[in-house]
Each structure stands twice: as C-alpha cells, then as structure tokens.
Structure 1
Amino acid sequence: MKVRRTTTAAAAALALSLATVTVASGGAQAVGAGSGSAGSGAETITIGIKFDQPGIGLKTPDGKYTGFDVDVATYVAKELGFEPGDIKWKEAKSADRETLLERGDVDFIAASYSINDEREKKVDFAGPYLLAHQDVLLRADDDSITKPEDLNNKKLCSVTGSTSAQNVKDDIAPQAQLQEYGGYSECLTGLENEIVDALTTDDSILAGYAAQDEFKGKFKLGGFKLSNENYGIGVKEGSDLKGKINTALEKMVSDGSWDQYVEKNFGPANYENEPAPKIGNVVE
C-alpha cells in the first residue's frame, strides 16, 4: 500500500482552511453568548437579571441597569474576564429562568433566584450570595403590627400568582384578608393610601422598593423572617462556570465589595441584612 504524502503547500492550505472554520464558529458563539461560552474566548457574556425590581435588578427609563444583583453580576463577570461594556443583559422573569439556562440563552442568571430542591433538578447554582427572608412591608407610622400574628384581620397584599401571601394565611395568620394586585407597585400604592395594611414578599425586594427616593421614610420592614431564601447564581447544569463563579463570590465577600453593594442598594430602607453567607452553605 502506498502512503500519500501531502506537499508543504497543500498542508499550509489545509491549515488555513481549518483556522478559518474555527474562527468563524468561535466568533458566532462569542456574540451569541450562552451555553457556557464565557471563559472560552468569548468577547461578550450574557447575564439574566430582573428588569422590574428596584434595589435588586432594574432597567431604568434611560436604559441603565441598577440593583444588588446587577452589582454582583458585574463583579463576577469582571472576575471571569469581562468588562462592563462586554455584558449583555437579558430579562429573566421568574417563570423563564430555567428555560433560559437550559436553552443556552444566557451564561448565568442573578435574579433573586432562590436555591431549592426542585430547581436544582434542572440547573446548577453557585452561591448563595445573599440570605433573604420572607417579610412584610408596613407603613412607617403603623404600630398595630409588631408580630406575624398581628396580620390576622389585616389586609395583606401580594402580586397575583405569588405564594407569599398564601403562606402567611396558611401557616401564620389564618384570618388575614388576602389582596392580590398585578404588581408590587400597585401594592405599594395601596399600602401608602391605607387601602391595604401590609405587603409581603422577600425582605430584600421590599427593602429595594422602600429605598426608592419617592418612598423614603414612608415604609418600614416588619423584620419577621418568615422563611429563608438563599439567593444563588444559576448556571446550566454541568457548566464549569459554577466553580469559577463561587471563587469570584468568595473574593467579592473578602474584599468588602459585598458590604458596599448591600449598603448602596438597601441601606436607605434600614434593611437589617444577614451577614454574607458562606459560599456553598445553603441555610434551611
């Protein structure tokens, strides 16, 4: 059998052809992000956040992005090698988060994303990076609600489809009068105008709303700690980003950036936050 030899010129042409194919396919992945492209030579990174939660993740009318999750995600992206201008922000609504990760539409999600057993069947989590609790928001001058049981016979507001208010009625205050509105802003308006007596969801979300300029001094947190909500950063199942993000989160805590982000986003609401959680330690 004769062995076919490749000439030097032919070899060079073949190498150039392969290089062209490699660059083309790599470039397509870079601009599209997702599927764990971050850290594999990508030029951009796509991150899922909330667009409608002040203090957590908010897209402002002028197109900017603010909030604790935005600050955390920006820090993590920088540790992964991406500058703020390299980040593509994508809205991650609660019901869409697992799908966005599974399809590879985003590289990771930081969107008040509580770690739980059901979600861990579908995606992996780095963190937690914040321990929040279900709580209630009250009018600053209301002294009639000082403990969870005082919610009996009170009008308790939450958004349509949320389980927070129902949890209170089922487990804590069976006589609470549930009021469901389309959004938290409507609940806040109702609370301010004394149409409802309390608003319930995660304390971090409540603090974010209360910290807004138009609401400063009008509301207070009950501090009831009705549940533990471990916020994690979601990644596609099996992604090697989990370990890299955990390393970035540990650095963020140790260098003081975590404390700065908490004060910046929640401080105006006098949010009594838990200390930074130990990365990898989910509080039951």
Structure 2
Amino acid sequence: MRIPRRPAPLRAGILLAVTVLALAACQGQPKAASEPSFAPGTTMADLSGAGKITIAVKYDQPGFGAASEAGPPEGFDVEIGKLIAGGLGLGPQDITWARATSSNREELLEQGRADLVIATYTMNEARQDRVGFAGPYYIAGQQIMVRSADADITGPDDLHNDPSLKVCSTTGSTPAAAIERYLIRPGQLVTKDGYADCAQALSEGEVQAVTTDNAILLGLISASDGEFKIVGDPFTEEPYGIGIVKGDREFCTFIAETLSQTARNGSYDRAWASTAGLIPEARTPSLPQLDPCA
C-alpha cells in the first residue's frame, strides 16, 4: 500500500518542530522572556531559585489581613505580598503564609521563619534597631473606637480626664505605646493578643474603647454590624512598611522598585479596591513617597 505524501507546508512544519525539540534537548529549555533574573547570592536570587517564599501577615484585621475559611488569608497586605512575590517570578501557589501578631513580627524575621512581614507594621526607630523596612506602602493614623451608643468618649483626652475608662490595644503594638501618654492610672490600658480580642472586650464591657490605626478600626467596624464607631481625629501618623532582615539593602531596593511599578501599572490600586477599599468610608490611598533603603 502506498502512503500518500503529506503536503509540503505540513512536512516543513513537522521538520521545524523536530529541529526545535532537538535543540531544546541539547541546550536545555531557555528562560521565558518575562522571567526575572537576579545577581547570584542576593535574597531575590535565592527566593526566585527556590521557587517559594514565606510571608507573614495578620489574621485578625479585616481589609488588611484576615483568616479565610476557604483558603489563604485575605486583605490588602496579602495582595501586596502577592505583588512582591510576583516580582520574583513567584505565583500565589508559591507563597507560604505565616501568622503575624503585633508581638512576634521581629522574631519571625530574626529567626528566619518569614522572608517578609507585611502586617500593618509601623516603621519606627525602635523596630529598625532589629529589622529592616521597605516602604512605606500605606500611611494610617491612630484613632479610637467605641460602642455606637457611647457619647462620653470623643478622643484620647477623655481617657485622661476620666481615669475609670479603660482602653484596649494589642501587646507590643505602636498604638499601645502611643495611647499610654494620655493615661494617668495603671490598669487603664488593657492589652490583648489581637484586635478581634479587643473588639470582643469592648462588646462585653470589659473596656470602653479600642485604639489602633484607623484602617484597622474601619475593618472592625464593618464586621460589627453597627455596634461600633470611630470618634475623634487621628492623633498619630503610622507609616506601614514591609519588614525584612536587617541590613539587606539589595532586597529593600528590589521591593521599593516593585512597589513603584505597582503604582505605575495600576496593580496597587486594584489591590486596594478588591480588599480594604470595599470597607465603607475607607479612603483610596496613593503609594506614599518611599524612604531610601539604608
């Protein structure tokens, strides 16, 4: 039986495909044009080469970092983490999420249990003695949350004027330290492991106020079904940074460049709109001016 000849164009296409496969077998598969390349020995090269990264976020802050029943945590900090990982050529499936609290963030980096900490992490001098920061990527301000029916507390000065009032914040947090200058009685400040615990203490009457950054309070209010409200104006400025191992200037520079790129291509805005931007009264931010990497 005579086998019919294939049309010439098809034969040429098959030959070309065979040639390409043979070259690939001899030379190895080339990298995709979009795959990033980093200098050997840098944190970026190590993470990209390993194909994985561990990012620590909060699990109790709706809008920024909150546990999800269906899968990984959700929130603006989580999306920022995905964008940084994307700059390394890593996808969401390559990220291991670790739980950060206000009191364990430095230890996560110092002990190598996280590569990044993106956890409503205010950049300040005390923390910079132990860890490095890239950013800020967001500026918050500290305010006070009370029960919606409460008309007695309108700001931090009321806590000073009435020493019977108690306020809750989290252990090891910047807001806990900032509110203390308004308090005059030991025991006025009640600290908890997380802000969800503070919200519960407010609901049950253990405390009369909760204080932290307004971005976090908005998330708690949104989840409270009208039980809570924010009072007064912001009385601090809280620049949120991305925590890294102290002294890793090259990694800091990479993160800063990646953040700038997200602002230019619109992915920063989309990250906000799909998370914290869904909270009523949340104002859409712009990427702040980034601090130089030390």
TM-score range, shorter chain: 0.7 to 0.9
> 2: CA distance between counterparts of 1:97 and 1:183?
13
Distance 1:139 1:128, change over 3 A: same
**Superposed CA offset, 1:63-105 (max 9, x none):** 4211111011111111221111111112233333333323433
Asked if the contact 2:122–2:174 (Cα under 8 Å) also holds between the matched residues in 1, the reply is no
In structure 1, stretches of 5+ residues that fail to align are 1-33
Is the partner of 1:244 in helix, strand or coil? helix
- Residue in 2 that maps onto 1:115: 123
The alpha carbon displacement at 1:249 in A equals 0.9
- Residue in 2 that maps onto 1:206: 217
Provide the identity percentage.
Answer: 37
Among candidates 223, 238, 248, match of residue 248 of structure 2: 238
One-letter amino acid of the counterpart of residue 277, structure 1: P
The answer to whether the aligner puts 1:57 opposite 2:65 as a matched pair is yes
Distance 1:136 1:75, change over 3 A: same
Asked if the contact 1:36–1:104 (Cα under 8 Å) also holds between the matched residues in 2, the reply is no
Distance 1:188 1:258, change over 3 A: same
Among candidates 249, 252, 269, match of residue 259 of structure 1: 269
> 1: CA distance between counterparts of 2:195 and 2:254?
34
> 2: CA distance between counterparts of 1:123 and 1:162?
15
Distance 1:198 1:205, change over 3 A: same
- Residue in 2 that maps onto 1:9: none
> Normalized against structure 1, the TM-score is what?
0.73
Among candidates 19, 23, 42, match of residue 50 of structure 2: 42
Asked if the contact 1:156–1:165 (Cα under 8 Å) also holds between the matched residues in 2, the reply is no
The number of aligned residues is 246
In structure 2, stretches of 5+ residues that fail to align are 1-41
Q: Which has the larger radius of gyration?
A: 2
The alpha carbon displacement at 1:257 in A equals 3.2
The alpha carbon displacement at 1:46 in A equals 1.7
Among candidates 231, 237, 240, match of residue 228 of structure 1: 237
- Residue in 1 that maps onto 2:106: 98
**Superposed CA offset, 1:135-178 (max 9, x none):** 111223433333332333233223456564564342x3547944
Distance 1:241 1:223, change over 3 A: farther
Distance 1:116 1:105, change over 3 A: same
Asked if the contact 1:132–1:274 (Cα under 8 Å) also holds between the matched residues in 2, the reply is no
Among candidates 275, 279, 282, match of residue 290 of structure 2: 279
Is the partner of 2:220 in helix, strand or coil? helix
The answer to whether the aligner puts 1:144 opposite 2:155 as a matched pair is no
One-letter amino acid of the counterpart of residue 238, structure 1: D
> 1: CA distance between counterparts of 2:205 and 2:97?
37
Distance 1:122 1:36, change over 3 A: farther
- Residue in 2 that maps onto 1:189: 200
The alpha carbon displacement at 1:39 in A equals 5.0
One-letter amino acid of the counterpart of residue 77, structure 1: A
Asked if the contact 1:38–1:80 (Cα under 8 Å) also holds between the matched residues in 2, the reply is no
The alpha carbon displacement at 1:200 in A equals 0.9
The alpha carbon displacement at 1:195 in A equals 4.8
Asked if the contact 1:210–1:269 (Cα under 8 Å) also holds between the matched residues in 2, the reply is no
One-letter amino acid of the counterpart of residue 207, structure 1: L
Is the partner of 1:278 in helix, strand or coil? coil
The alpha carbon displacement at 1:243 in A equals 1.1
Asked if the contact 1:128–1:281 (Cα under 8 Å) also holds between the matched residues in 2, the reply is no
Is the partner of 2:279 in helix, strand or coil? helix
**Superposed CA offset, 1:210-245 (max 9, x none):** 222xx1333222253222221111122225221111
Is the partner of 2:51 in helix, strand or coil? coil
Distance 1:269 1:178, change over 3 A: farther
1:124-143 matches, within 5 Å, as: 124-143=132-151
Asked if the contact 1:48–1:108 (Cα under 8 Å) also holds between the matched residues in 2, the reply is yes
> 1: CA distance between counterparts of 2:280 and 2:230?
8
- Aligned alpha-carbon RMSD (Å): 3.0
1:173-184 matches, within 5 Å, as: 174=184, 177-181=188-192, 183-184=194-195
Asked if the contact 2:44–2:88 (Cα under 8 Å) also holds between the matched residues in 1, the reply is no
The alpha carbon displacement at 1:47 in A equals 1.4
> 1: CA distance between counterparts of 2:150 and 2:55?
40
> 1: CA distance between counterparts of 2:144 and 2:177?
13
